[in-house]
Amino acid sequence: MLDFAEHPHRRYNILTGEWVLVSPHRAKRPWQGKIEVITLAKQASYDPNCYLCPGNTRAGGHQNPDYQHTFVFTNDFAALKPDGSSDLFENGLLKAQGERGICRVVCFSPDHSLTLPDMEIDAIEKVVDLWQQEYLTLGALDFINHVQIFENKGEMMGCSNPHPHGQIWAQTSIPQEVTRKSKRQLQYWQATNRSLLQDYLKQELNEAIRLICQNEHFVALVPFWAVWPYETMIIPKRHLQHIGQMKNIEKQAFAAILKDLTQRFDRVFDTSFPYSAGIHQSPTDGEAHPEWHLHMTFYPPLLRSATVKKFMVGYEMLADPQRDITPEMAAEKLRSLG
């Protein structure tokens, strides 16, 4: 009989159709790789050299207002532009197409020293409000078919500024990861007339071994198919296609579980836990997308300490992703840190 805690095995991702190799026995092997000592410097509430602090001039020459809560602006060095070309290029086996879009920066707080787990719930709720407004506003534009809300936290994740902030990229095409998830959810919806993630959540709530925390409206868990060591997912209990459908009470509950989960992250290695996180929700291409179920995923790289992270190398780059500690182990650790 397959023992998840001892035997190497593969797990299937119901949202993407991909597999991950799990090798739980390897978590017992001795570690003689890279280990560093980390010293955390306390950030000041205001940094005169920070491009995102209130009243400061950004690298692009624009001055920030003296904002008191959240602040959003179009990225001065955007990866996508609204007036770009949409032309198609084809030459034999070579193919390319111009891509239009809008890139926004969302400052979570005027306080330079705060990250999401340090903020009050009502302040995080203002971030959720802004996410909702931007999704609805950008998604209503005729050339925008997808809105990606995300955050890269920490230098380890390539964050270029320590001020608490995230980004929103809205674009004409629907990204490949979202397309894969759309396909799987639509297949399930057409076969059952039910949400794939709602049925998955029901099973996770019954088993309760990968759950981390929950409130009246949201659940945070480690997905059965998680790739990263402490990968987690927040799923609304109500079948929501997108953040624009959230009621005020749900936005407050979303803010509360964001704080709860990210505080647990910070306690794993007693450090400000780096991650890439983002919300996946229905495209804004004018279709109803009843199959879509909003979810937010966190991909933290830390594996053994505050400085030792997991890399996707070797077998993982050439074959399949692989993990050592099981999702059940990770969930138990995060659950214990409440």
pLDDT digits (tens, 9 = 90+) for 21-64: 999 988 764 444 444 555 566 789 999 999 999 999 998 899 99
Tell me the helices (H) and strands (E) count for the chain, helix number first. 6, 14
Task: DSSP for 4-45, please give it.
Answer: TTTS-EEEE-TTT--EEEE-GGGGGS---S------PPPPPS
Whether 242 is catalytic is: no
Specify the DSSP class assigned to residue 125: H
Flag residues of the chain having pLDDT under 70.
Answer: 28-41
**Pairing of β 101-107 and β 232-236:** unpaired
CA atoms of 221 and 295, how far apart (whole Å): 11
Across-strand partners of 88? 97
What class does CATH assign to 9-37+46-336? Answer: alpha beta
Using DSSP, state whether 108 is helix, strand or coil.
Answer: coil
**The predicted structure's pLDDT at residue 30:** 43
pLDDT for 32 = 42
Among residues 112, 146, 163, 165, which one is catalytic? Answer: 165
> Tell me, what's the pLDDT at 33?
45
Strands (E), the chain: 9-12, 19-22, 71-74, 88-91, 94-97, 101-107, 146-153, 165-171, 211-214, 218-221, 232-236, 275-280, 295-299, 322-323
Cα-trace Rg, the chain: 21
Write down the domain spans for the chain: 9-37+46-336
